[in-house]
């Protein structure tokens, strides 16, 4: 099965270890992974800030870049959802609408792809840690991917899982929200960190790098002894 990796800006610039874990995991599960070098930002930051016309330049580039892909897989529910929005945004542009729909139809968040396309729930991972999981807003509420991370984590040998109180509360990142509304964002992430700390977990797991960067940054500033891991890194642990 051929998979084209949609790496996302945050992984490319800040969390390359997540990209490496994603590739190694998919290859171990029998996928042939390629990396279309023409990919750039999906346009989400500009779009969410109201710059719809400008964001479409990036979107058209992404549609063309992944046009020949069999499957598009991303270690980010937020960015994968942005691809799902393309058909709506190009509905009045016939030359792009069909291409946008084809891209949306073949795009998957990593855990969704593993469970629902590859039909695998036990990837053979092992991690001797006590962990909790943060559910990102875009991935669960918009993309609709909620159960697959738990199915995969439940099969990780040695992993002691602890539920996170108020897990559906936003961490305060929200892309440009954390910049424009920094004081509110800080209070939100402080609440999230407090909930994580209350679990007594050694590790906080998540599936969106934006959330993990935000929560992990606050954990670091508060000097809390909690490791932050993307679910791809957990599933690639042996």
3 state DSSP class of 27: helix
Which residue, 116, 149, 172, sits at the end of a domain?
116
Is residue 122 situated within a structural domain?
A: no
Residue after which a domain boundary falls, among 51, 82, 116: 116
Q: For position 74, what pLDDT does the model report? A: 98
* Percent of the residues in the chain that have a pLDDT greater than 90, as a whole number: 92
Average pLDDT over residues 83-112: 97
Residue 140 — very low, low, confident or very high, per pLDDT cuts 50/70/90?
Answer: very high
**CB-CB contact of 214 with 176 (8 Å):** no
* DSSP letters spanning 67-132: TT-SEEEES-HHHHHHHHHHHHHTTT-HHHHHHHHHHHHTEEEHHHHHHHTS--S----B---EEE
In sequence order, the β-bridge partners of residue 132 are 204
For position 174, what pLDDT does the model report?
A: 82
Q: Which domain holds residue 152?
A: 130-235
Q: Residues 53-97: pLDDT tens digits?
A: 999 999 999 999 999 999 999 999 999 999 999 999 999 999 999
- Whether residues 33 and 95 fall in one domain: yes
Shared domain for 135 and 198, answered yes or no, is: yes
For the cut 90, the answer to whether the pLDDT of residue 176 exceeds it is: no
Percentage helix, strand, coil, to 5, in the chain?
50, 15, 35
H or E stretch covering 2: strand 2-5
Count of domains in the chain?
2
Contact, 114 vs 152, CB < 8 A?
yes
Regarding whether 16 and 74 lie in a shared domain, the answer is: yes
The reply to whether 137 falls in a domain is yes
Does the residue 180 lie in any domain? yes
Buried b (16+ CB within 10 A) or exposed e, 124-142: ebebebebbbbbbbbbbeb
Phi, psi of 35 (to 5 degrees): -125, 100
Mean pLDDT, residues 182-191 taken together: 93
Strands 130-133 and 160-161, bridge-based pairing: parallel
Percent of the chain with pLDDT over 70: 100
Q: What are phi and psi of 163, to 5 degrees?
A: -60, 145
Full-prediction pTM beyond 0.75? yes
Among 55, 90, 116, residue at a domain's last position: 116
Indicate if the pLDDT at residue 175 is higher than 80. no
From CA 161, how far away is CA 233, in angstroms rounded?
16
Asked whether residue 123 is assigned to any structural domain, the reply reads no
- Are 23 and 51 in the same domain? yes
């Amino acid at each position: 099965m051929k998979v084209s990796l949609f790496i996302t800006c945050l992984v490319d610039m800040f969390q390359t270890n997540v990209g490496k874990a994603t590739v190694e995991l998919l290859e171990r599960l029998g996928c042939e992974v390629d990396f279309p070098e023409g990919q750039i930002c999906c346009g989400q930051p500009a779009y969410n800030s109201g710059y719809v016309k400008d964001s479409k330049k990036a979107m058209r580039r992404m549609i063309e870049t992944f046009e020949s892909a069999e499957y598009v897989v991303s270690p980010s529910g937020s960015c994968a959802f942005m691809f799902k929005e393309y058909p709506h945004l190009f509905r009045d542009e016939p030359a792009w609408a069909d291409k946008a729909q084809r891209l949306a139809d073949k795009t998957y968040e990593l855990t969704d792809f593993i469970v629902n396309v590859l039909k695998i729930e036990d990837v053979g991972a092992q991690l001797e840690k006590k962990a909790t999981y943060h559910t990102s807003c875009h991935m669960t509420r918009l993309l609709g991917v909620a159960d697959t991370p738990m199915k995969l984590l439940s099969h990780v040998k040695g992993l002691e899982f602890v539920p996170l109180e108020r897990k559906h509360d936003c961490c305060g990142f929200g892309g440009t929200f954390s910049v424009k509304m920094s004081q509110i964002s800080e209070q939100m992430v402080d609440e999230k960190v407090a909930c994580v700390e209350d679990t007594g977990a050694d590790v906080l797991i998540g599936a969106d790098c934006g959330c993990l960067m935000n929560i992990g940054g606050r954990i670091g500033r508060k000097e809390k002894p909690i490791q932050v891991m993307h679910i791809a890194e957990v599933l690639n642990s042996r």
